[in-house]
Amino acid sequence: MSDGVLAVGDRVGAYRVTGHLIGNTYEGVHASTARPVLIEVAAIEDWRDAMLQMMRAQRLEKLHHPGVAPIIAHGVLPDHRPWLATEVPNGIHLHELIADRAMTPMEVAALMRDAADVLAHAHARGIVHRALTLRSLIRTPGEFPLCIVHWGLRLGELGVFGAPELSMGGSFDGRADVYALGVIAFRAATQHFPGEGGVYDMADVPAGLATLIGRTLSIAPEERPIAAEVRALANELVVCGLELVRGRARFTRARWTPPPPDLPDLGEDSTTLVDELDETIEP
């Protein structure tokens, strides 16, 4: 281990690191059984932070949802950084699914419904993901079609996915995850991030879905729906069917620009996010 970065072969509790994924997340296997795991290591400033992160790891064990990869073990490294190991979900990461195509509106609505269901479960138990990105969502073949990973032990630079209140250092709650889900949904529906390449609207997205995504991207947290509401609204779109009419949702009056994402291997640029949703419906 050098400068806090784990190398292939390093031991983390009963596990051995086999590769680096992103940030403080690593691939690993059990040293005896070769069972594959995801290992997440906290970034620690002092011992108080370490204690808080350990408490978070213990709380994460209370999440029992088919869309949350179970925590197998957790502990503390010799340099006092907490770590946790989770099961490796069987499936395909969302960033791979939408690498060269946009999702259909119905697929996006189902994605928002399923992700919001997991988030609502966590938020009801006082857990905020805080680091939701395209790489945090995995499509799985099981009964529940989505798994959210990288619940993490650290709050790093999130770039375009980070809600304004996170970058500004203010207090936050589960609506920070709702904002990140909105960015993910916008990207899945349009193949752009909000503002990327001058794209600020969802002209080809059905009105109901465009309105829901727009609400999740509200700059003010209190103007965003909570995860349980997102789940209910997205489910209504899935069950009742998306309107045939096309909606045009345009963001105007940019007031906040997020920092560039500090995630070099994502290959995604952060651009201006904007404040208000002007909604019109076009026949």
Split at pLDDT 50, 70, 90, the class of 221 is: very high
**Does residue 261 lie in a domain region?**
yes
Share above pLDDT 70 across residues of the chain, in percent, rounded to a whole number: 77
Other residues' Cβ atoms within 10 Å of the Cβ of residue 94: 22
- Looking at 69, 87, 105, the residue that finishes a domain is 87
Q: Which domain holds residue 148?
A: 92-282
**Which residues share a beta bridge with 26?**
20, 39
For residue 249, give the amino acid letter: A
Q: Where are the beta strands (DSSP E) in the chain?
A: 11-12, 15-22, 25-30, 36-41, 71-76, 82-87, 92-93, 137-139, 146-148, 205-206, 246-252, 276-282
How far apart, in Å, do the first and last CA atoms of the chain sit? Answer: 60
Long-range contacts of 47-51 (CB under 8 A, 24+ apart): 47/80, 50/76, 50/80, 50/81, 50/82
**pTM for this one?**
0.80
**Does residue 5 lie in a domain region?**
no
Q: DSSP letter for 206, please.
A: E
- Which single residue is written with the structure tokens 């919001």? 116
- Looking at 56, 87, 118, the residue that finishes a domain is 87
263 has pLDDT over 60: no
- Looking at 29, 56, 87, the residue that finishes a domain is 87
- Between helices 175-190 and 227-240, what is the axis angle to 10°? 30
- What is the number of structural domains in the chain? 2
**Which residues share a beta bridge with 86?**
38, 71
Q: Which residues have C-beta within 8 Å of that of residue 96, sequence separation ≥ 6?
A: none
The model's pLDDT over 101-139, given as tens digits with 9 standing for 90+, comes to 999 999 999 999 999 999 999 999 999 998 899 999 999
Same structural domain, 50 and 96:
no
The model's pLDDT over 183-207, given as tens digits with 9 standing for 90+, comes to 999 999 999 999 887 667 888 899 9
Q: What is the CATH number of the domain that holds 144?
A: 1.10.510.10
Average pLDDT, the chain: 81
pLDDT on residue 262: 39
